[in-house]
Structure 1
Amino acid sequence: MQFESKEATIDAIKQFHIHNSFDYVVKISRPHIFVAQCKHFGAGCEWRVRASFSVKRDVWEIKKIDGTHSCVFTIVSQDHSKINSSFISNCIINLVSGDPGIPIKALVKEIVSRFGYTVTYRKAWTAKQLAMSRIYGDWEESYNELPRWMNAVQHFAPGTIVRYEASRNYVNGVEDPSAFILDRVFWAFKSFIEGFVFCKPILQVDGTFLTGKYTGTLLIASSQDGNRRIFPVAFAIVKGETKEAWEWFFYNLRTFVTPQPYICIISDRGTGLLGALRTELPRWCNSKSVYCIRHLASNFNKEFKDSDLKEKVIQMGYELMRPRFERMLSALREKNARAAAWLDHIPKEKWAQCYDEGSRYGHMTTNLAECINGVLKGSRALPITALVRTTYYGLNSWFVDHRDETINMIKAGHTYCEELTNVIKENQRQSTCQLVRSFSRETGVAEVEVASRSAARHSRVYIVKLAKNWCDCGEFQSLRLPCSHAIATCSTLNLDCGQFISPIYRLDNILKVYGIHFQPIGNIEYWPPYSGPSFIPNPVMRRKRTGRPKTKRIHNEMDEVQSQLIKKCGWCRTKGHNRKNCPFRMREVGESSRQPGNDE
């Protein structure tokens, strides 16, 4: 047989032995020759193979094979010594290329289906990192490539913001001026910065772990356009979600990306994040911060261990009418005074929609940021430059799709998106059976009576104040959309209800969100010269080279909790013992030690 390279030759020999449950040892391995023999050579098996490079044919050839394997493969391990991380990486490289976020367990199953052996999680994880290096480049070199690529982005897309924070590098106690340790990087592309001006004035912030060779946390700030599409705003890679890291992130966000006033920041109640907001928020003109109701309810449930009360808290958070909210809070206080006291320590405007004065635009969670986390899940395992490139090229496709979607709706003659149009039509339908008593045509104050469907119940009455975009039901001021009572009032006063819809929801405004196009970066030969510092990764953030990679994520009832599986032996994959005291492994070691030439 002939092969293109020595690596391909060895790979074929490995696959032959893996498929047939044999093993071999290497006797000679030189640049132009490779010789291997059976692991039990001289003890009943005489199999031997010789391969070398043919200068005449410019290929590697299997020159000679002595005998056939006559040994009995006594290893009962469900792993094979020749299935190492390098071999696995060759087998899975296409899978990793197609989906960088493919789970390690899926790669383990792939090896089982192809070769019948179950490799360890760590071996498969290391193999995936090797495959990623071959596809996207070396992790260490990626840190050095990052400032050059960012410099090219800033050249072709002026207005892009990139901020670094680095520390000095010492080698054997001596400072190395040629490279700096990259501690943090913040970036926001020009399209994000310009487009946010026309989005809802909200920012949802969240962090997610990096899963590659080096640890770290990806911080994300996101918003939403008037068509209810996710709009990423800024990113950062830091060591962890500490107070200092969040302060640095918010400072750059406020200074270079979103200096506008009256921004509502929605977040969880992480200690470091809240500490950073206390420092940075006062410098953000008339902006405010509120809490994600899911995280607050999770913290509540962690304290009181009562899922029914937790659901009550979530309902209270979503309630639009203050009287109803207060009644629910009183009922909770009667049932569990300590739980109510826990809620009393949190300002109502931080978590109750009926007290936020519409600053949330109806957003009660950080789902937008978490959705982007999901989109970038596979990218979080990439080297740093490849990860940043994903945020550029991947999110560019979002811009193109959302821009085309908006243009098509405008061509179809729509003023608002289809979903919002349906909401307005439904409110208009409900308003036809409502009785309006106008009290002031100038200010638009009216009393709207809604007849009850049940004869046993009294009709409900709502006060509408068009000049203040306000209604007793709470929907008008919370969503910035006229409710059915406001539409009924407009109809009575012969007013166009469209003037009370926030301009953010108009298609012509949404088109401005995606008005700044992403620019192609082009061939590296056309990149501008870079004369700035070179970066290297922080060696402290290097994942441990042994053992299964561990996560620091703290799981709670918001996550899908899986029952812990009983640990299995790393050698034979059976339960009840570990690799060190595996009886089958000890038997194999004993047989190997009795081979000729070994000391007994």
Structure 2
Amino acid sequence: MICVKLFVGGEIQYNSDGAFYSIRPKFSFPVTVNHAFDYLENEIYKRVGCTVSQASLKIQARFNLRQDGQRDYQLIPVTDQESWKMILDIVTSFQQRLPVLDLYVELESNHNGFNSQLDLNSQIHIPSSNRIPEPRTRPSFIRVRKPVPDYSHVPVDAIDDNSLESGDEMLSDEIEGSDEEVRPTSQSQSQLRSRVSQYPITVRDNMSRTFDKPLAVGTVYESKAALRAAINKFHLEHNYKCKVKYNGATRFNVVCTDDFCKFSVIANPHNLSGSWIIKKQAIPHTCKATPHGHYQLTAELVARAIDNTMRKNMCATINHIRDVVKSTYRKVTPKYNKLWRGRELAIANLLGSWENSYNLLIPLFEAIKRTNPGSKYCVTSFPIENSPNRHFKAAAWAYGPCIAAIPFLRPVISIDACFMSGRYKGRLLMACGYDAENRLLPLAFGIVEKESVENWGFFMRWLQLEVIGNNRFMCVISDRHLKIKSVFQDPHLGWDESTNICVHRLCSQHVVDNLFKHVGRRKEVSDKFKIGVNKKKPRRLQEMIQDFEISCPEALDYLNKVGKRNSNDEDELPCLEKLYQAMDGGHRWEIMTTNGSESLNNVFKLTRRLPITAIVQGTFYKMTSWFRERRKKSSSGT
């Protein structure tokens, strides 16, 4: 609970300690962190004894900005739900036994005869006939030379300069029982003139307070986009729905989606600077919208709400983004597609547009190549008919330190592909090596549209020519993807097993998973194979095969087809060396799975949601951190 001390009816003054109020607090009431800004306004109106139609509130919270025991009290405006939530967060962070919040409130009349000072300031009294009061509403004169409009409803600091023309004397009431003439002092008149521009009568007379201040008549917005954002924000905070009735160059009209609600806002261009001003508004909303799938919760508003969150964590999940949006717009439950598109837009606002990131790809690679000698890349594209632009096809890149480390690695690599989950779909290809301590070292990355023979051939051919080298023997471990198997059957791609410069082996874990499904989910069969496939002695492997001949012949039939180039070709001999370590010939170096590349898929799981240039930067920063950590470890001798 928070104790609110309400200061009203006095004046805000300043001294060496900062801001303070001229009188003691008139009211107090409790609030909690769950109370909304509307509750605060209702409590204030109830205690001062007026309504929203009579006066509007100007609320300011006082805080001490010094933390060293000194005093520096400053005022923070409280205008909407967001600022009220910020004030509550500040108060609760002080860790006091009973948090206290000082609120300074000023009431502005809505031109219906309500006078906040006469109603609230108990120190003001009716003057006697033999005492001349200090002028409070306007300067007083006895003689009248021309009629003046009635300004009784306008504060003293809002009187126009036209009513103070030189050489004219102003209207005044004669004070009963006194013949003395009262004239304003030069000081009060100068103060009056200096504040005229702050409250022009033409604006205040047209200003309506029928609903929230951001949509009041006379409010100016820097652009039409800012106007629409303010309208959407107002409707989200108050759980209303609206639609655009007219959208033109000279007029913008918004009405309620409910035909029985007469709400309407009309805005026009303000000047040549592109700003817009609200010219007219109808009665407030008389309807209520459902909290699900609000029309005004656009992707732009979601992007604005999660901007700070995305700056701290570029890979925030949809569930986390939903919580952030719901904390900002508590009356609305956002839909998944709005959250997904809002996240994309927030990423684009921070990293650049998704489309433009492809134009920055080659400059980024050139910058990496210039600062990291030995780095290599390749970007392919094809022309678009009747257009000067080109269509992105594929990209591959490798970093200089990774290429230089290849002679010191085991002659085994694992390759795999993973999905890109951003706006534009694709596949991220990776080739991973292993050092003497069995630690991972990514050798090359690639981005293609899909897993095809052409795309895998492009990546593997570039990997051999630019990264590994033509004459270096390498054992490649992968899953049983048909497109990968086709690469090792094409002699033009440089990975033909018949040339004895490479061998292709299968990941045993993928085979275990497929065998488990093939034999009717019999776990004892898959467990036996998982043990037998890692045996190094042919005798132990033969024991497993004989056991399968008796207990599960269908498992043995499936395993004999796994290594074949064409699983349906009965004349092709089983390629058992692709599967069993005992028949491998030592090429695997005891590496039976593609866990290395699979681990990299998990490392870059969140990075794959970002634009293409951010993906490249993510791989660069990860490689930099790994090399720095390993260099520190090797230099320390641990």
The bucket for the TM-score relative to the shorter chain is 0.5 to 0.7
| Other-structure match for 1:262 | 473
| Other-structure match for 1:306 | 521
| Other-structure match for 1:295 | 510
C-alpha separation in 1, matches of 2:618 and 2:278: 43
Q: What do residues 12-49 of structure 1 show as CA deviations (whole Å, max 9, x unaligned)?
A: 432232122112334566789866444458x4545647
1:219 counterpart = 2:429: yes
C-alpha separation in 1, matches of 2:582 and 2:484: 24
Counterparts in 2 of 1:37 and 1:282: CA distance versus 1, 3 Å:
closer
Structure with the bigger RCO (C-alpha within 8 Å, sep 6+) is 1
| Other-structure match for 2:51 | none
Range with bigger deviation, 336-345 or 246-255: 336-345
Counterparts in 2 of 1:393 and 1:5: CA distance versus 1, 3 Å:
farther
Contact 2:477–2:505 (CA under 8 A) maintained in structure 1 = yes
SS, match of residue 170 in structure 1: coil
| Other-structure match for 2:372 | 157
| Other-structure match for 1:584 | none
The 5 Å alignment of 1:60-459 reads 67-69=283-285, 71-73=286-288, 75-76=289-290, 78-115=292-329, 116-171=331-386, 176=387, 178-259=388-469, 261-279=472-490, 280-282=494-496, 286-308=501-523, 309-345=525-561, 346=563, 347-408=575-636, 410=637
Structure 2 counterpart of 1:287, which letter?
A: C
Query: How far apart are residue 330 of structure 1 and its match?
Result: 1.1
* Aligned-residue RMSD, C-alpha: 3.0
Q: What do residues 537-569 of structure 1 show as CA deviations (whole Å, max 9, x unaligned)?
A: xxxxxxxxxxxxxxxxxxxxxxxxxxxxxxxxx
Contact 2:472–2:501 (CA under 8 A) maintained in structure 1 = yes
Q: TM-score, normalised by structure 2?
A: 0.57
The 5 Å alignment of 1:491-506 reads none
Query: How far apart are residue 265 of structure 1 and its match?
Result: 0.9
Query: How far apart are residue 63 of structure 1 and its match?
Result: 7.7
Structure 2 counterpart of 1:319, which letter?
A: K
Query: How far apart are residue 152 of structure 1 and its match?
Result: 2.8
Query: How far apart are residue 219 of structure 1 and its match?
Result: 0.7
C-alpha separation in 1, matches of 2:267 and 2:377: 56
Counterparts in 2 of 1:370 and 1:61: CA distance versus 1, 3 Å:
farther
Query: How far apart are residue 187 of structure 1 and its match?
Result: 1.0
C-alpha separation in 2, matches of 1:98 and 1:277: 44
Contact 1:192–1:233 (CA under 8 A) maintained in structure 2 = yes
C-alpha separation in 2, matches of 1:63 and 1:375: 55
SS, match of residue 495 in structure 2: helix
Query: How far apart are residue 310 of structure 1 and its match?
Result: 1.8
**Structure with the bigger percentage of helix:** 1
Counterparts in 2 of 1:318 and 1:63: CA distance versus 1, 3 Å:
farther
| Other-structure match for 2:164 | none
C-alpha separation in 2, matches of 1:247 and 1:78: 48
C-alpha separation in 2, matches of 1:316 and 1:98: 48
C-alpha separation in 1, matches of 2:244 and 2:376: 54
C-alpha separation in 2, matches of 1:105 and 1:237: 28
Query: How far apart are residue 208 of structure 1 and its match?
Result: 0.8
Contact 2:255–2:262 (CA under 8 A) maintained in structure 1 = no
Contact 1:101–1:377 (CA under 8 A) maintained in structure 2 = no
Counterparts in 2 of 1:36 and 1:371: CA distance versus 1, 3 Å:
same
C-alpha separation in 2, matches of 1:60 and 1:360: 70
Counterparts in 2 of 1:183 and 1:46: CA distance versus 1, 3 Å:
closer
1:16 counterpart = 2:234: yes
Contact 1:49–1:66 (CA under 8 A) maintained in structure 2 = no
C-alpha separation in 1, matches of 2:361 and 2:381: 13
SS, match of residue 208 in structure 1: strand
C-alpha separation in 2, matches of 1:332 and 1:383: 49
C-alpha separation in 1, matches of 2:254 and 2:514: 61
Range with bigger deviation, 151-160 or 246-255: 151-160
Counterparts in 2 of 1:98 and 1:368: CA distance versus 1, 3 Å:
farther
Counterparts in 2 of 1:55 and 1:210: CA distance versus 1, 3 Å:
same
Query: How far apart are residue 61 of structure 1 and its match?
Result: 7.5
Query: How far apart are residue 400 of structure 1 and its match?
Result: 1.1
C-alpha separation in 2, matches of 1:196 and 1:148: 26
| Other-structure match for 2:41 | none
Counterparts in 2 of 1:294 and 1:104: CA distance versus 1, 3 Å:
same
Contact 2:251–2:268 (CA under 8 A) maintained in structure 1 = yes
Query: How far apart are residue 65 of structure 1 and its match?
Result: 6.0
C-alpha separation in 1, matches of 2:599 and 2:577: 25
Structure number with greater Rg is: 2
Q: What do residues 492-539 of structure 1 show as CA deviations (whole Å, max 9, x unaligned)?
A: xxxxxxxxxxxxxxxxxxxxxxxxxxxxxxxxxxxxxxxxxxxxxxxx
SS, match of residue 252 in structure 1: helix
Query: How far apart are residue 154 of structure 1 and its match?
Result: 2.6
SS, match of residue 165 in structure 1: strand
Contact 1:24–1:36 (CA under 8 A) maintained in structure 2 = yes
Q: Percent identity?
A: 25
SS, match of residue 318 in structure 1: coil
Counterparts in 2 of 1:264 and 1:44: CA distance versus 1, 3 Å:
closer
Structure 1 counterpart of 2:304, which letter?
A: N
Counterparts in 2 of 1:195 and 1:334: CA distance versus 1, 3 Å:
same
Unaligned runs of 5+ in 2: 1-213, 564-574
Counterparts in 2 of 1:155 and 1:266: CA distance versus 1, 3 Å:
same
SS, match of residue 332 in structure 2: coil
Q: What do residues 152-176 of structure 1 show as CA deviations (whole Å, max 9, x unaligned)?
A: 33333332221233222102xxxx4
C-alpha separation in 1, matches of 2:238 and 2:283: 15
Q: TM-score, normalised by structure 1?
A: 0.61
C-alpha separation in 1, matches of 2:624 and 2:576: 39
Query: How far apart are residue 388 of structure 1 and its match?
Result: 1.5
| Other-structure match for 1:543 | none
Query: How far apart are residue 190 of structure 1 and its match?
Result: 1.0
Structure 1 counterpart of 2:535, which letter?
A: E
Query: How far apart are residue 230 of structure 1 and its match?
Result: 1.7
